[in-house]
Amino acid sequence: MSSVEAAAERTAKNEGSIRVPVLDQRVYEGLAGMRLAMRRFLSFSETALSAARVTSQQYQALLVIKVGSMITMGALAEQMLLQHNGAVQLVDRLATAGLAQRIPSVEDKRSVYVTLTSEGKDLVESLAKVHLEGMLANEPLLAESLALLRHLAQLG
Protein backbone atom coordinates (compact mmCIF):
# COMPACT_ATOMS: atom_id res chain seq x y z
CA MET A 1 0.00 0.00 0.00
CA SER A 2 1.38 3.41 -0.95
CA SER A 3 1.68 6.27 1.53
CA VAL A 4 -1.09 8.09 -0.38
CA GLU A 5 -3.41 5.09 -0.04
CA ALA A 6 -2.54 4.76 3.63
CA ALA A 7 -3.30 8.43 4.13
CA ALA A 8 -6.62 7.95 2.34
CA GLU A 9 -7.56 5.15 4.70
CA ARG A 10 -6.64 7.28 7.71
CA THR A 11 -8.85 10.10 6.50
CA ALA A 12 -11.92 7.95 5.88
CA LYS A 13 -14.38 8.81 8.66
CA ASN A 14 -16.67 5.90 8.03
CA GLU A 15 -17.22 3.10 5.53
CA GLY A 16 -19.68 5.14 3.43
CA SER A 17 -17.51 8.22 3.02
CA ILE A 18 -15.64 9.11 -0.14
CA ARG A 19 -11.97 8.38 0.34
CA VAL A 20 -9.92 11.38 -0.65
CA PRO A 21 -6.20 10.95 -0.11
CA VAL A 22 -4.48 13.40 2.15
CA LEU A 23 -1.25 14.50 0.56
CA ASP A 24 1.90 15.06 2.52
CA GLN A 25 2.43 18.77 3.21
CA ARG A 26 5.72 18.57 1.31
CA VAL A 27 3.84 17.75 -1.91
CA TYR A 28 2.09 21.10 -1.63
CA GLU A 29 5.41 22.79 -0.93
CA GLY A 30 6.96 21.19 -4.02
CA LEU A 31 4.02 22.09 -6.23
CA ALA A 32 3.95 25.65 -4.88
CA GLY A 33 7.67 26.00 -5.52
CA MET A 34 7.27 24.75 -9.09
CA ARG A 35 4.42 27.16 -9.78
CA LEU A 36 6.31 30.05 -8.21
CA ALA A 37 9.34 29.38 -10.39
CA MET A 38 7.14 29.10 -13.48
CA ARG A 39 5.25 32.30 -12.66
CA ARG A 40 8.53 34.16 -12.07
CA PHE A 41 9.85 32.93 -15.39
CA LEU A 42 6.64 33.73 -17.27
CA SER A 43 6.53 37.22 -15.78
CA PHE A 44 10.16 37.73 -16.78
CA SER A 45 9.40 36.35 -20.25
CA GLU A 46 6.39 38.62 -20.81
CA THR A 47 8.50 41.66 -19.94
CA ALA A 48 11.27 40.60 -22.35
CA LEU A 49 8.80 39.81 -25.13
CA SER A 50 6.94 43.08 -24.65
CA ALA A 51 10.20 44.99 -24.98
CA ALA A 52 10.89 43.10 -28.22
CA ARG A 53 7.32 43.79 -29.43
CA VAL A 54 6.36 40.15 -29.92
CA THR A 55 3.72 38.07 -28.23
CA SER A 56 4.37 34.86 -26.36
CA GLN A 57 2.70 32.93 -29.18
CA GLN A 58 4.87 34.63 -31.79
CA TYR A 59 8.01 33.83 -29.80
CA GLN A 60 6.94 30.20 -29.49
CA ALA A 61 6.37 30.09 -33.25
CA LEU A 62 9.81 31.60 -33.86
CA LEU A 63 11.32 28.85 -31.70
CA VAL A 64 9.38 26.13 -33.53
CA ILE A 65 10.44 27.50 -36.90
CA LYS A 66 14.06 27.83 -35.73
CA VAL A 67 14.12 24.20 -34.57
CA GLY A 68 12.56 23.00 -37.82
CA SER A 69 14.68 25.35 -39.96
CA MET A 70 12.08 25.14 -42.70
CA ILE A 71 8.74 23.81 -41.52
CA THR A 72 5.42 23.20 -43.23
CA MET A 73 2.40 25.19 -42.19
CA GLY A 74 0.77 21.94 -41.04
CA ALA A 75 3.72 20.99 -38.86
CA LEU A 76 3.78 24.50 -37.38
CA ALA A 77 0.08 24.26 -36.58
CA GLU A 78 0.63 20.87 -34.93
CA GLN A 79 3.58 22.09 -32.85
CA MET A 80 1.69 25.22 -31.80
CA LEU A 81 -1.52 23.28 -31.02
CA LEU A 82 -3.41 25.45 -33.51
CA GLN A 83 -5.88 24.84 -36.28
CA HIS A 84 -4.35 25.29 -39.73
CA ASN A 85 -6.06 28.67 -40.25
CA GLY A 86 -4.70 29.88 -36.90
CA ALA A 87 -1.16 28.99 -37.98
CA VAL A 88 -1.73 30.82 -41.28
CA GLN A 89 -2.81 33.95 -39.40
CA LEU A 90 0.18 33.66 -37.05
CA VAL A 91 2.57 33.37 -39.99
CA ASP A 92 0.82 36.34 -41.63
CA ARG A 93 1.65 38.45 -38.56
CA LEU A 94 5.24 37.18 -38.45
CA ALA A 95 5.67 37.88 -42.17
CA THR A 96 4.20 41.38 -41.82
CA ALA A 97 6.71 42.03 -39.02
CA GLY A 98 9.53 40.82 -41.29
CA LEU A 99 10.36 37.86 -39.04
CA ALA A 100 9.25 34.92 -41.21
CA GLN A 101 8.61 34.15 -44.84
CA ARG A 102 6.73 31.59 -46.85
CA ILE A 103 8.48 29.42 -49.40
CA PRO A 104 6.30 27.41 -51.80
CA SER A 105 7.12 23.72 -51.99
CA VAL A 106 8.76 22.65 -55.24
CA GLU A 107 7.37 19.11 -54.94
CA ASP A 108 3.80 19.93 -53.89
CA LYS A 109 2.33 23.23 -55.07
CA ARG A 110 -0.28 23.07 -52.26
CA SER A 111 2.37 22.98 -49.53
CA VAL A 112 4.10 26.01 -48.11
CA TYR A 113 7.18 26.07 -45.95
CA VAL A 114 7.84 28.70 -43.33
CA THR A 115 11.31 29.89 -42.51
CA LEU A 116 12.82 32.74 -40.55
CA THR A 117 14.15 35.87 -42.17
CA SER A 118 17.54 37.14 -41.05
CA GLU A 119 15.70 39.59 -38.77
CA GLY A 120 13.67 36.70 -37.34
CA LYS A 121 16.82 34.66 -36.77
CA ASP A 122 18.49 37.56 -34.97
CA LEU A 123 15.42 38.21 -32.81
CA VAL A 124 14.88 34.58 -31.79
CA GLU A 125 18.57 34.26 -30.93
CA SER A 126 18.60 37.35 -28.73
CA LEU A 127 15.33 36.35 -27.04
CA ALA A 128 16.58 32.79 -26.51
CA LYS A 129 19.69 34.11 -24.76
CA VAL A 130 17.59 36.31 -22.48
CA HIS A 131 15.16 33.47 -21.76
CA LEU A 132 17.97 31.04 -21.00
CA GLU A 133 19.34 33.49 -18.43
CA GLY A 134 15.87 33.92 -16.93
CA MET A 135 15.33 30.19 -16.78
CA LEU A 136 18.68 29.56 -15.15
CA ALA A 137 17.93 32.23 -12.56
CA ASN A 138 14.99 30.06 -11.47
CA GLU A 139 16.96 26.81 -11.62
CA PRO A 140 17.60 26.49 -7.86
CA LEU A 141 13.91 26.70 -6.97
CA LEU A 142 12.90 24.46 -9.88
CA ALA A 143 15.55 21.86 -9.05
CA GLU A 144 14.68 21.87 -5.35
CA SER A 145 10.96 21.56 -6.03
CA LEU A 146 11.40 18.81 -8.61
CA ALA A 147 13.77 16.87 -6.36
CA LEU A 148 11.30 17.07 -3.49
CA LEU A 149 8.41 15.90 -5.68
CA ARG A 150 10.49 13.08 -7.18
CA HIS A 151 11.53 11.93 -3.69
CA LEU A 152 7.94 11.95 -2.46
CA ALA A 153 6.70 10.12 -5.55
CA GLN A 154 9.31 7.40 -5.01
CA LEU A 155 8.20 6.99 -1.40
CA GLY A 156 4.57 6.56 -2.36
* SS3 labels along 99-156: CEEEEECCCCCCCEEEEECHHHHHHHHHHHHHHHHHHHHCHHHHHHHHHHHHHHHHHC
Domains of the chain: 3-155 (1.10.10.10)
Tens-digit pLDDT profile for residues 77-121: 999 999 999 999 999 999 999 999 999 988 888 889 999 999 999
Confidence of residue 1 (pLDDT cuts 50, 70, 90): low
pTM above 0.75, yes or no: yes
Whether the pLDDT of residue 50 is over 70: the answer is: yes
Which position has the higher pLDDT, 47 or 155? 47
pLDDT at 82: 97
CB within 8 Å of 104: residues ≥ 6 apart: 111, 112, 113
CA angle at residue 146 from 37 to 21, to 5 degrees?
105
